[in-house]
């Protein structure tokens, strides 16, 4: 573990005394130029970057009425100030959502409003300078774009959109973040965030088949690039890599097997995640998503199902239709996209799956709502939506389930602290501090109900929890995939046996 001090978990969530600039030094590594592998960003500050940054801001505001409204309409009521987990965990007042917005708003005012042009100091307008850019770089990478603040804002101002715009401007003038941009480059070159080539993917899946055969005695297949399969499953590449993610992938395969539905993964679209969203790049968003349409057409599938990933589901649910639709080549009896929890839940409702919940009797489970699902794509494609359905799948798999405090779940869920492109080692201090509100709620159900495990449907949440739980004296393997729980309890024989 890195030498980082986790905040003390008090009796309940308190609003911290402010510590100005406490996190001013927190910054991700800057992406370097990469001329051989074009990523869509220059990699160093371009000539006349100040004017170009201002012009890019103008372009974004012109293209997005929502962004303009968000920048124009804040009345400084203060309702959002204590709603950000990064402010609660770090005490830095620039992590108050309204203060974060003002970093961009002050420049917008200076160049795009009359009072800002005439009387800048009276209206808090600022010139675009290197000092401002550095502040942007630091604090727009201390926003996980979780949108919790927008739930409490009477005007619905969405700081995540402002943060995405700021990152897009920074990328365009050469101040791009290394972590997200390198991941995007891997997807363009190889097909997934981990840079896992096709043969390595096949090896992993063969290994899974052997493991499941050893565990159950049954030949469960984990197929890749099978033409004519009914379902294309696109899932975050983390699912091919390590626990707890891979337990989820094992569970997906068992569900398909138990239901007798043919399915396949794709080596071309071996990534459901889409980091184009984190850097606010519509071009990258489109290029990454396009691989999924191409794979679906090439394989001739009837349906597309999305694995456990928060932002992947948001991109699929909210943007696929515009980015890569129409899906008139798929079987329109099924929703596009469909989430793996919806897929499993639907089969449970039909009585097509059988579970032995006692297989999970060593666990008392709670559920962490992932931000991109809870606040950006929660309705889903089935009645019940993404608050009820994942919980129903968990409850079908375990006997002992308890929710965390109401003010920390559903649309009020606290971010895991690692979303929105900050899941990188150099930001571990931010990540540990930012998860403090979630850890506090978790600690309460551990103490009151003996909770032993927390389930999530987001690859980033799972990776972040694995890393930060030990800082709060919880075991690393406390975090589970929802379909990891399914995997333990599902019965693979015929349902009527
Ligand atoms: S979107 Fe989330 S991380 Fe960003 S300011 Fe709002 S609450 Fe904080
Ligand atoms: S809650 Fe909304 S209007 Fe109030 S200060 Fe925050 S962003 Fe501004």
Tell me: the pLDDT tens digits for 115-163? 999 999 999 999 999 999 999 999 999 999 999 999 999 999 999 999 9
User: Containing H/E element for 264?
Assistant: strand 263-264
Nearest to 407 by CA among 4, 12, 8: 12
* pLDDT of 77 higher than 70: yes
- Establish whether residue 77 lines the binding site of ligand 2, counting it when its CB lies within 6 angstroms of any ligand atom: yes
Is residue 276 helix, strand or coil?
coil
Q: Pick the residue whose CA is nearest to atom 2 on ligand 2.
A: 153
Question: Averaged over 321-330, what is the pLDDT?
Answer: 95
Give the ligand whose atoms come closest to the C-alpha of residue 159: 1
Say which residue the tokens 């990469």 belong to: 34
pLDDT at 101 (0 to 100): 98
Is residue 460 helix, strand or coil?
helix
- Establish whether residue 74 lines the binding site of ligand 2, counting it when its CB lies within 6 angstroms of any ligand atom: yes
pLDDT at 189 (0 to 100): 86
Q: ω into residue 326 within 30 of 0, thus cis?
A: yes
Nearest to 455 by CA among 484, 434, 431: 484
- The whole-angstrom separation of Cα 167 and Cα 279 is 5
Helices H / strands E in the chain, number of each: 21, 9
Residue 29, sorted as left (phi over 0), alpha (psi -120 to 50) or beta, turns out to be beta
Q: Per-residue confidence at 7, pLDDT binned at 50, 70, 90?
A: confident
> For residue 197, which phi and psi values (nearest 5 degrees)?
-75, 165
Nearest to 135 by CA among 104, 162, 159, 157: 104
Query: If you measure from the C-alpha of residue 450 to the centroid of ligand 1, how many angstroms do you get, rounded to a whole number?
Result: 30
Say which residue the tokens 């010139």 belong to: 127
- Establish whether residue 75 lines the binding site of ligand 2, counting it when its CB lies within 6 angstroms of any ligand atom: yes
Tokens representing 117 are: 């042009």
What residues contact residue 407 under an 8 Å CB cut-off, 6+ apart?
none
Pocket of ligand 1 (CB under 6 A): 83-84, 86, 97, 100, 143-149, 159-160, 163, 415
Helix locations, 217-303, DSSP H: 245-259, 282-299
Query: If you measure from the C-alpha of residue 151 to the centroid of ligand 2, how many angstroms do you get, rounded to a whole number?
Result: 10
Q: Pick the residue whose CA is nearest to atom 8 on ligand 2.
A: 74
Give the ligand whose atoms come closest to the C-alpha of residue 422: 1
* pLDDT of 273 higher than 60: yes
Max intra-chain CA distance, the chain: 79
CB 10 within 8 A of CB 16: no
Tell me: the pLDDT tens digits for 166-216? 999 998 998 989 999 889 888 888 889 988 898 999 999 999 999 999 999
Tell me: the pLDDT tens digits for 442-497? 999 999 999 999 999 999 999 999 999 999 999 999 999 999 999 999 999 766 44
- The whole-angstrom separation of Cα 493 and Cα 80 is 52
pLDDT at 496 (0 to 100): 47
Residue 214: exposure state from Cβ atoms within 10 A (0-12, 13-18, ≥19):
exposed
Integer-rounded Cα radius of gyration of the chain: 23
Query: If you measure from the C-alpha of residue 146 to the centroid of ligand 1, how many angstroms do you get, rounded to a whole number?
Result: 5
C-alpha angle 224-228-230 in degrees, rounded to nearest 5: 85
CB 227 within 8 A of CB 266: no
pLDDT at 32 (0 to 100): 80
- The whole-angstrom separation of Cα 241 and Cα 466 is 14
- The whole-angstrom separation of Cα 350 and Cα 496 is 13
> For residue 234, which phi and psi values (nearest 5 degrees)?
-110, 130
Atom of ligand 2 nearest to the CA of 156: 2
Q: Pick the residue whose CA is nearest to atom 6 on ligand 1.
A: 149
Mean pLDDT of the chain: 93
Pocket probe mutation, ligand 1, options 23, 79, 98, 100, max atoms within 8 Å of Cβ: 100
pLDDT at 37 (0 to 100): 52
C-alpha angle 194-198-204 in degrees, rounded to nearest 5: 75
Give the ligand whose atoms come closest to the C-alpha of residue 81: 2
Q: Pick the residue whose CA is nearest to atom 3 on ligand 2.
A: 74
pLDDT at 289 (0 to 100): 96
Q: Per-residue confidence at 39, pLDDT binned at 50, 70, 90?
A: low
Residue 210 CB-half CA count within 13 A: 6
* pLDDT of 83 higher than 80: yes
* pLDDT of 34 higher than 90: no
Question: Averaged over 81-93, what is the pLDDT?
Answer: 97
pLDDT at 486 (0 to 100): 98
* pLDDT of 284 higher than 50: yes
Share above pLDDT 70 across residues of the chain, in percent, rounded to a whole number: 97
Task: Give strand pairing partners of 232.
Answer: 264, 304
Query: If you measure from the C-alpha of residue 55 to the centroid of ligand 2, how many angstroms do you get, rounded to a whole number?
Result: 26
> For residue 221, which phi and psi values (nearest 5 degrees)?
-95, 145
Tell me: the pLDDT tens digits for 8-31? 787 777 788 999 999 999 999 998
Atom of ligand 2 nearest to the CA of 152: 1
Query: If you measure from the C-alpha of residue 88 to the centroid of ligand 2, how many angstroms do you get, rounded to a whole number?
Result: 17
Query: If you measure from the C-alpha of residue 142 to the centroid of ligand 1, how many angstroms do you get, rounded to a whole number?
Result: 8
Tell me: the pLDDT tens digits for 405-433? 999 999 999 999 999 999 999 999 999 99
Could you tell me which residue, 174 or 77, shows the higher pLDDT? Answer: 77
Pocket probe mutation, ligand 1, options 81, 149, 369, 417, max atoms within 8 Å of Cβ: 149
Least reliable range by pLDDT among 172-181, 333-342, 363-372, 450-459 = 172-181
Question: Averaged over 372-388, what is the pLDDT?
Answer: 84
C-alpha angle 5-7-12 in degrees, rounded to nearest 5: 165
Query: If you measure from the C-alpha of residue 76 to the centroid of ligand 2, how many angstroms do you get, rounded to a whole number?
Result: 5
**What are the domain boundaries of the chain?**
49-176, 185-491
Give the ligand whose atoms come closest to the C-alpha of residue 156: 2
Give the ligand whose atoms come closest to the C-alpha of residue 80: 2
Query: If you measure from the C-alpha of residue 453 to the centroid of ligand 1, how many angstroms do you get, rounded to a whole number?
Result: 26
Query: If you measure from the C-alpha of residue 145 to the centroid of ligand 1, how many angstroms do you get, rounded to a whole number?
Result: 5
Atom of ligand 1 nearest to the CA of 146: 2
Pocket probe mutation, ligand 2, options 66, 77, 96, max atoms within 8 Å of Cβ: 77
In Å, how far from its chain's centre is CA 251?
Answer: 20
Give the ligand whose atoms come closest to the C-alpha of residue 149: 1
Q: Per-residue confidence at 36, pLDDT binned at 50, 70, 90?
A: very low
- Write the class of the CATH domain 49-176: mainly alpha
């Amino acid at each position: 573990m890195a030498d980082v001090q986790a905040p003390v978990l008090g009796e309940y969530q308190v609003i911290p005394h402010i510590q100005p600039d406490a996190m001013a030094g927190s910054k991700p590594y800057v992406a370097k130029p990469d001329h051989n592998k074009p990523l869509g960003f220059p990699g160093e500050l371009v000539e006349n970057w100040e004017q170009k940054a201002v012009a890019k801001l103008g372009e974004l505001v012109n293209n997005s009425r929502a962004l303009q409204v968000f920048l124009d309409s804040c009345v400084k009521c203060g309702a959002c100030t204590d709603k950000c987990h990064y402010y609660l965990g770090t005490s830095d007042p620039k992590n108050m959502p309204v203060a974060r917005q003002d970093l961009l708003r002050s420049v917008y005012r200076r160049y795009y409003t009359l009072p800002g042009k005439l009387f800048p100091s009276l209206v808090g307008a600022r010139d675009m300078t290197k000092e401002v850019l550095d502040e942007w770089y630091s604090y727009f990478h201390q926003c996980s774009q979780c949108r919790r603040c927008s739930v409490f804002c009477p005007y619905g101002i969405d700081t995540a959109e402002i943060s995405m715009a700021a990152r897009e401007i920074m990328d365009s003038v050469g101040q791009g973040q290394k972590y997200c941009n390198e991941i995007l480059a891997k997807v363009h070159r190889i097909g997934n965030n981990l840079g896992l080539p096709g043969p390595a993917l096949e090896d992993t899946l063969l290994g899974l088949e052997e493991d499941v055969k050893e565990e159950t005695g049954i030949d469960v297949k984990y197929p890749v690039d099978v033409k004519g399969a009914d379902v294309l499953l696109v899932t975050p590449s983390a699912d091919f890599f390590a626990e707890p993610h891979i337990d989820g992938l094992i569970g997906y395969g068992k569900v398909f097997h138990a239901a007798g539905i043919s399915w396949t993964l794709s080596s071309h679209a071996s990534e459901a995640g889409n980091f184009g969203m984190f850097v606010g790049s519509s071009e990258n968003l489109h290029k990454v998503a396009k691989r999924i349409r191409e794979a679906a057409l090439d394989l001739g599938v009837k349906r597309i199902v999305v694995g456990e990933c928060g932002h992947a589901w948001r991109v699929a649910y909210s943007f696929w239709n515009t980015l890569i639709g129409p899906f008139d080549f798929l079987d329109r009896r099924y929703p596009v996209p469909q989430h793996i929890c919806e897929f499993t839940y639907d089969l449970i409702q039909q009585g097509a799956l059988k579970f032995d919940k006692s297989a999970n009797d060593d666990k008392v489970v709670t559920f962490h709502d992932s931000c991109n699902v809870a606040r950006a794509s929660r309705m889903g494609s089935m009645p019940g939506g993404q608050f009820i359905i994942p919980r129903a799948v968990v409850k079908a798999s375990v006997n002992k389930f308890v929710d965390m405090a109401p003010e920390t779940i559903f649309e009020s869920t606290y971010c895991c602290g690692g979303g929105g492109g900050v899941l990188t080692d150099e930001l571990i201090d931010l990540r540990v501090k930012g998860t403090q509100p979630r850890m506090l709620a978790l600690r309460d159900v551990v103490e009151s109900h003996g909770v032993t495990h927390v389930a999530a449907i987001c690859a980033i949440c799972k990776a972040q929890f694995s890393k930060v739980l030990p800082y709060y004296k919880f075991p690393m393997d406390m975090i589970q995939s929802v379909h990891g729980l399914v995997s333990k309890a599902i019965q693979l024989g015929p349902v009527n046996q």
